[in-house]
Amino acid sequence: MESVTRGRLTNEGDDSGRGESPGEADDALAQRAQSGDRDSLSTLYRRYVAEIYRYAYRQVGNQADAEDLTSQIFLQVVRSIEGYKPQGYFRAWVYGIAKKVIVDWWRKYYKTPTIPLEDFLELETVTSADRPALNPDAEPAVERLMAQLPERYREVLTLRFLRGYSLEETAEAMGISLANAKVIQHRAVKRAAEIGLD
């Protein structure tokens, strides 16, 4: 399978099946991949690599980490493909893997016990990749936590994790430098972790 190449993440080579829904086409490819067909696996990779890269980039805010995460995500897809049950939800399944990989990345990045970051990353990307929405089941817990944070911390977490802004977009929206946005985000997540552990 080809690797994620810096600056060349595209959906070229997507040969989606004609006359069937995207879910059905994905499932047909996934079933062939489960039987050892590497071409089908490569087709699924080409179909989703740019989309997953954009999702990862929105979560971490820089190209290098987004590319590394995209590679990790698809490596996990390859390792887990045999366990996929074809029901027309391959895209949602890939996003589920992506979310878990990114949650683990954030935990390692901050090296601190945290409240479940799934509450922030539980995004309904299967229905709107560009305008993610918080999972309704997570809303009460997130709202309670947000209410205990300073306004600046609430703002950066809302923009980054609930609206899916990149770090650059967050800095612009808040009228601050990129460096300051990174610092505020770090302090906000750390404070949220402390509150979650109280």
Domains held by the chain: number: 2
**What domain range includes position 180?**
112-198
Pair 125, 184 in one domain: yes
Is the overall model pTM greater than 0.75, yes or no? Answer: no
Pair 34, 105 in one domain: yes
CA atoms within 13 A on the CB side of 41: 19
Residue 50 and residue 70: Cα distance in Å, rounded?
9
Pair 121, 197 in one domain: yes
Pair 25, 105 in one domain: yes
Pair 122, 194 in one domain: yes
Residue 2 lies in a domain: no
> The CATH number of the domain where 80 resides is what?
1.10.1740.10
Residue 119 lies in a domain: yes
Looking at 110, 140, 168, which one is the last position of a domain? 110
Contact, 146 vs 135, CB < 8 A?
Answer: no
Which residues of the chain are modeled with pLDDT < 50?
1-3, 5-8, 10-18, 112-115, 121-135, 137-138, 197
Looking at 93, 110, 127, which one is the last position of a domain? 110
CA 104 from centre of chain: 11
For 91, phi then psi, to 5°, come to -60, -45
Pair 75, 153 in one domain: no
Residue 163 lies in a domain: yes
Q: Cα(first)–Cα(last) distance of the chain, in Å?
A: 46
Both tokens of 179, joined, read 């460096």
> The CATH number of the domain where 120 resides is what?
1.10.10.10
Pair 116, 182 in one domain: yes
| pLDDT score for 6 | 43
| pLDDT score for 109 | 65
Residue 91 lies in a domain: yes
What letter represents residue 41's amino acid?
L
| pLDDT score for 63 | 84
Pair 141, 91 in one domain: no
Residue 10 and residue 120: Cα distance in Å, rounded?
27
